[in-house]
Structure 1
Amino acid sequence: MCGIAGWVSYDSDLSQRQEIVDAMTETMACRGPDDRGTWVRRNVALGHRRLAIIDLPGGRQPMSVRTPNGEISMVYSGEAYNFTELREELTKLGHTWETDSDTEVVLHGYLQWGDAVVDHLNGMYAFAIWDERDQKLVMIRDRMGIKPFYYYPTRDGVLFGSEPKAILANPLASRVVDSDGLRELMAFTKRPGWSLWKGMAEVEPGTVVTVSKEGIRTRTYWKLDAKQHTDDQETTVARVRELMTDIVNRQLVADVPRCVLLSGGLDSSAVTGLAAARLAEQGEQLRTFSVDFTGQEENFKPDEMRDTPDSPFIRDVAKLVGSAHQDVILNPAELSDPEVRRTVLRARDIPAGLGDMDTSLYLLFKAIRGESTVALSGESADEVFGGYRWFHDESVHADTFPWLAFRSGLMTEREALLRPDVATHLSLADYVADQYRTAVDKVEHLDGESEQEARMRTICNLHLSRFVRMLLDRKDRASMAVGLEVRVPFCDHRLVEYVYNTPWSLKTFDGREKSLLRHATKHVLPDSVRDRVKSPYPSTQDPGYPAALQQQVKEVLAERDNPVFQLVSREWLTKVSEVDPVTIEPTQRVGMDRALDLYHWFDMYSPELQLD
């Protein structure tokens, strides 16, 4: 897992711009604390920051191979979990090796198959290859969008990087945010290809972007196709169990310490149980980590998202599998620390406004990094198996994205903190409606699907093509900010394809959410977790947290001319700062977090707003 950056300019001599390439690369030092490297030629420059996971001495980058017609050089971020099999296949085809790294395998895969190498990869990855033979740059991103990847077309080429900050370090990139960028920031629809910054775009998941003197072209190599599911219930459960076991076994391969993120829910507990069993076979004990808040278990109150605290279930899992478990306990002062907020903002590049759910994730990862370099996560199981509460209530029938229809403090009243004129200008309701129609129109269906099956296929597709990408980006940025590689077994494309095409009646065959996962992994779960209702990532309930936010908001309000008030309503912020923190509403707390994110983001990034 690493950070990559680069610059292609067909009309310039980049060998004279080394300092700019170095600056782009160094913005991602946190993503790759173990090594750095650049590769510069007249029309191309590649930069790499390395987090060493496999073949620690041999996987240095940029990595190149020479051919009779020119050099091919690559910068690569991620992991190819099937690199051992690919290496054997390529060896039979005549390839020889200088390292034991998966990076070299991917590079030789390109040498053998060109950009069709993607059809051979199982993993999470974002990589760029300069092919001197054709004077072209090939940028490739994994199927699910686990690893971030951005590019910025220029007059005579392109800039690219794992994160926007790498591109923004180049003087050719302007720091402009227009109305379209702000709409998606506030809307939570995850428009494909979106970047907050004008002129910048994501390499979309499952896509190859090729840059040549003729311009930029894209090719989609993977998407969610509708296919007939013919397996019965017993066979389907067995297949999910087989896939999950294989996936977890593959993703445990590393030359550095590994662990699992354990929340006490079905998803992370399933991964924990499978991982513990695999490591026990190898004579190792699994390490597990969880996050909690001071007094949370003792003072827990059910809300619209969470019925129970996590801690009792975490203890049950750790006891059953015999893991070496560690709780990371956080207090309101740590969660609301402005410096921690700024660190998270720097990692994410956007004022996401998720408050303690972002800062606690970062602080959890920071604590884990002292013990482990690789962590397996239960992220994405809800999108794959249909686990969120809104899959199972009236929200699923709303004529919009279900996560926006569901009543929660995070998703409702997203415009409340905005100045009225800004809210009117952005017209978020119209934007969301347009995005919803566009997303629904892209969903493929099978002939003869019932109305319910068709609707649930659409809902599952929206989560896998939109919602999960927001969560994957959040987890990648927070983890890589401390040099921790987080792997997501539930994003293995084989599992995603198989379960996506499983009828909804099978996904809920026992009358519960995530029936297939529950039954496929019940052999490694305690009874308490098998019976537990879905509970999302935790959030502190301590009134000390909103009280701390209110104090910080009052300090912002004292700055009369701060640029944040180009967007945020001073009147709304004043009113919410005076509410009793014990009775403050979730939407008000979320609004304060978002306002504070915007405040620090303006200070750190100095964006130019173009509200036209």
Structure 2
Amino acid sequence: MCGMAGWLSYSRDLRQHRDTVQRMTDTMALRGPDGEGLWIDGPIALGHRRLSVIDLEGGRQPMAANQPGHENDVAVISYVGEVYNFRELRAELVSKGHHFKTNSDTEVVLRAYVEWGEQFAERLNGMYGFALWDIRKQELLLVRDRMGVKPLFYFPTADGVIFGSEPKAILANALVPRRIQADGMRELLELVKTPGQAIFAGMREVLPGEIVKVNRDGIKTRRYWQLEAREHTDSLQQTIQHTRDLLEDIVDRQMITDVPLCVLLSGGLDSSTITSLASKKLLAQGKENVRTFSLDFKDHGEEFVSDGFRLTPDTPFVWDLVKWVDSNHGQIILDSRELADPALRLAVVRALDLPPAYWGDLYPSLYRLFEEVRKQSTVALSGEAADEVFGGYRWFHDPAAIPADTFPWMSTATVKLFDGKNLFDQGLLTKLDMPTFVQDSYRQALDAVPELPGEDATNRRMRQITHIHLTRYVQSLLDRKDRMSMAVGLELRVPFCDHRLVEYAFNIPWEMKTFDGREKSILRAAARDLLPDSIVQRIKNPYPATQDPAYEKELRSAMSNIVADPNAPVRQLLDLGRVKDTLGREAGKVSPLHERMGMERVVGMNSWLAEYDVSVDI
């Protein structure tokens, strides 16, 4: 998977700034523990840290390539990610005279650019974020995959750009201030992800499906892919079959690796479908059955209580699927109290470069889960994004949320699930004007939705909701999974983010998507023969959160330390009266979700402000 960093400065010879580039690259060590490299030539410097997954010996980077029939190199790349159709592309390039020195997908991407120029991006199927320097044009391209599975950030300067897989790589350059302004604070306090907006002042994020071109004339951007509204002409049975065909091809492609692979199994429809398809593929090839991993909390199964959002524990369904496919399964049991450990929380903040957004225990639990998985596997498949693609979330089917004039997950019916501002100073919130921010962001999201002429009101509205999820909501989830997995050197692949599946499902009419009166009807029908009936019939359940009062006790203790420390940086942002009132309530009993999220946000924000020495300029 890897991590990358770089600097383009047309007024400097960056060979004189090698230490800075090395420092930037070193911040990516956890993303790439297997190797490193630097390539510096005049105004451009590319750094790379490698996690070896395909062509373990030959895929070292940064990598340069020449034009067929010529000796001199014409382009150099620092590449992060996987291109799943690299074998087909390689064969086509060989037919055009290209000679390959490695078996890596990196060289395929690089030579695809040499052959097709900027249009090469349209040919790629995968998850990636990379920097490509054209030696002839003295021009830099920053390219991100269509769904934004892999991150890529940049900071424009007066004479070029500073860039990296994560903000920490950019922040390692002294030219970049560690500052947050009003827009960044608004995004931290609401579950609203504005495409392209990074939290740190002046920093940008390459949009999914975007190419950022930097040359001496400045910075230009171009979207090479966006969702389009198209008429769906397939029948119900054709739609189910095409969905199944796509899933089989996607899983087949994403299982290509030269290192151990597994599937993250929750016992839900999404991950169970991926698991069963992977198992079927391996057994058909005469190979060892698929390895799977699941998560549970100590005593969770026996003491689980529905919180109105999580309806059932995962473990019984996990074992139903394990018995069904006979996978090589490992169950990872976490102690809830460990999730509040300050050292673990700090590791999470360092991985995110931000405070955790909501449900703070999800981040350390993912970190620990991935840490354990990494001991046995280097690549993991995940069921992330199926809910966005096929309409699985509760608010997709909530009569109160559907017509709401805001983001569906922030509607009256669900807002408390994602709130967490209750402990912040009311004057600060008034100054930030959070309601206007949310409404402006929502209007921008609606304006970006493509329209299909003649579409009825119901399908138009559900297209809007689906598009908003695929371009806004899913980004938060993909970011969380990417940072927590890459912090321990685990490559996470997300089959449901294959752009072919996303494009196809986006245009399935809503009445067809819900033909059986349930959520994710098409996916359920496409996978029915792959799964036990218990999972086919199971209602959507989110990623598990701990219900152990001991966890909240540790959380309250961390908040008490903030109150007691006059130098705690987050204090300037808080309503200390409300904080003390919350701490004075009965301990040892799990608080309502929005109150607990408030505590999570306070503790996480304080850790981030202190660790990153962030100045708040609002």
**TM class, shorter-length:** over 0.9
1:76–1:128 Cα contact (<8 Å) kept: yes
Alignment of 1:575-590 (within 5 A): 575-580=581-586, 581-590=588-597
Matched, 1:361 2:361: no
Cα deviation per residue 1:285-326 (whole Å; 9 max; x = unaligned)? Answer: 111011111111111111221111101000000010011111
Secondary structure of the 2:156 match is strand
Q: Distance in 1 between matches of 2:269 and 2:431?
A: 43
Alignment of 1:334-373 (within 5 A): 334-354=338-358, 355-373=360-378
> Which of these residues, 77, 86, 90, is aligned with residue 89 of structure 2?
86
The residue aligned with 1:263 is 266
Secondary structure of the 1:397 match is coil
Q: Distance in 2 between matches of 1:254 and 1:579?
A: 52
Q: Distance in 1 between matches of 2:330 and 2:59?
A: 32
Q: Distance in 2 between matches of 1:268 and 1:53?
A: 22
- 1:561, distance to aligned residue in structure 2 (A): 3.0
> Which of these residues, 361, 381, 393, is aligned with residue 388 of structure 1?
393
The residue aligned with 2:463 is 457
- 1:565, distance to aligned residue in structure 2 (A): 1.0
2:147–2:209 Cα contact (<8 Å) kept: yes
> Which of these residues, 328, 331, 334, is aligned with residue 324 of structure 1?
328
The residue aligned with 2:203 is 200
Q: 1:407 to 1:565 in 2, by over 3 A?
A: farther
Q: Distance in 2 between matches of 1:583 and 1:43?
A: 56
Taking every aligned residue pair, what percent have the same amino acid on both sides? 51
Paired letter, 1:592: M
Structure 2 unaligned spans of 5+ = none
> Which of these residues, 301, 315, 322, is aligned with residue 305 of structure 2?
301
Paired letter, 1:77: V
> Which of these residues, 600, 609, 612, is aligned with residue 616 of structure 2?
609
- 1:603, distance to aligned residue in structure 2 (A): 1.4
> Which of these residues, 102, 106, 118, is aligned with residue 103 of structure 1?
106
The residue aligned with 2:66 is 66
- 1:412, distance to aligned residue in structure 2 (A): 4.3
Moved more, 290-299 or 412-421: 412-421
1:227–1:501 Cα contact (<8 Å) kept: yes
Q: Distance in 2 between matches of 1:88 and 1:551?
A: 60
Q: Distance in 2 between matches of 1:583 and 1:364?
A: 23
> Which of these residues, 414, 426, 431, is aligned with residue 432 of structure 2?
426
Q: 1:598 to 1:241 in 2, by over 3 A?
A: same
The residue aligned with 2:599 is 592
The residue aligned with 1:167 is 170
Secondary structure of the 2:401 match is helix
Cα deviation per residue 1:405-458 (whole Å; 9 max; x = unaligned)? Answer: 164586444321211111111111110000101110111111111111100000
Q: TM-score if structure 2 supplies the norm length? A: 0.97
1:144–1:206 Cα contact (<8 Å) kept: yes
Paired letter, 1:440: L
2:417–2:593 Cα contact (<8 Å) kept: no
Alignment of 1:129-144 (within 5 A): 129-144=132-147
Q: Distance in 2 between matches of 1:444 and 1:353?
A: 29
CA RMSD of aligned residues (A): 1.1
Paired letter, 2:53: I
Q: Distance in 1 between matches of 2:412 and 2:290?
A: 37
Q: Distance in 1 between matches of 2:417 and 2:438?
A: 13
Paired letter, 1:367: E
How many residues are aligned here? 611
The residue aligned with 2:472 is 466
Paired letter, 2:216: K
Q: 1:357 to 1:407 in 2, by over 3 A?
A: farther
Cα deviation per residue 1:92-131 (whole Å; 9 max; x = unaligned)? Answer: 0110010000000000000001121111110000011111
Alignment of 1:408-419 (within 5 A): 408=414, 411-419=417-425
Q: Distance in 2 between matches of 1:41 and 1:532?
A: 57
Q: Distance in 2 between matches of 1:475 and 1:571?
A: 35
Moved more, 70-79 or 252-261: 70-79
1:3–1:49 Cα contact (<8 Å) kept: yes
Q: TM-score if structure 1 supplies the norm length? A: 0.98
1:145–1:204 Cα contact (<8 Å) kept: yes
Secondary structure of the 2:180 match is strand
Q: Distance in 1 between matches of 2:558 and 2:415?
A: 20
Paired letter, 2:403: H
Q: Distance in 1 between matches of 2:568 and 2:382?
A: 39
Q: Distance in 1 between matches of 2:418 and 2:506?
A: 28
1:409–1:586 Cα contact (<8 Å) kept: no
1:409–1:590 Cα contact (<8 Å) kept: no
Return structure 1 stretches of 4+ with deviation > 6 angstroms.
none
- 1:347, distance to aligned residue in structure 2 (A): 0.5
Q: 1:413 to 1:97 in 2, by over 3 A?
A: closer
1:305–1:408 Cα contact (<8 Å) kept: no
Cα deviation per residue 1:326-354 (whole Å; 9 max; x = unaligned)? Answer: 11111122111111111011001111243
1:350–1:601 Cα contact (<8 Å) kept: yes
Q: Distance in 2 between matches of 1:5 and 1:599?
A: 27
2:191–2:418 Cα contact (<8 Å) kept: no
1:416–1:591 Cα contact (<8 Å) kept: yes
Paired letter, 1:591: G
Q: 1:216 to 1:447 in 2, by over 3 A?
A: same
Moved more, 349-358 or 528-537: 349-358
- 1:459, distance to aligned residue in structure 2 (A): 0.3
Secondary structure of the 1:424 match is helix
- 1:569, distance to aligned residue in structure 2 (A): 2.0
Paired letter, 1:304: G
The residue aligned with 2:486 is 480
Secondary structure of the 1:87 match is helix
Paired letter, 2:517: G
1:126–1:162 Cα contact (<8 Å) kept: yes
Q: 1:106 to 1:406 in 2, by over 3 A?
A: farther
Secondary structure of the 1:396 match is coil
Cα deviation per residue 1:62-87 (whole Å; 9 max; x = unaligned)? Answer: 00023567631100000000000000
Secondary structure of the 2:331 match is strand
Moved more, 339-348 or 62-71: 62-71
> Which of these residues, 535, 541, 554, is aligned with residue 547 of structure 2?
541
Matched, 1:222 2:229: no
Matched, 1:23 2:23: yes
Secondary structure of the 1:216 match is strand
Structure 1 unaligned spans of 5+ = none
Matched, 1:116 2:123: no
> Which of these residues, 528, 533, 537, is aligned with residue 531 of structure 1?
537
Moved more, 128-137 or 64-73: 64-73
Moved more, 528-537 or 59-68: 59-68
Q: 1:410 to 1:136 in 2, by over 3 A?
A: farther
The residue aligned with 1:311 is 315
1:550–1:578 Cα contact (<8 Å) kept: no
Q: Distance in 2 between matches of 1:452 and 1:395?
A: 13
Secondary structure of the 1:244 match is helix
Moved more, 185-194 or 315-324: 185-194
Cα deviation per residue 1:573-594 (whole Å; 9 max; x = unaligned)? Answer: 2121222231521111111111
Paired letter, 2:305: K
Q: 1:409 to 1:188 in 2, by over 3 A?
A: closer
Secondary structure of the 1:45 match is strand
Paired letter, 2:313: P
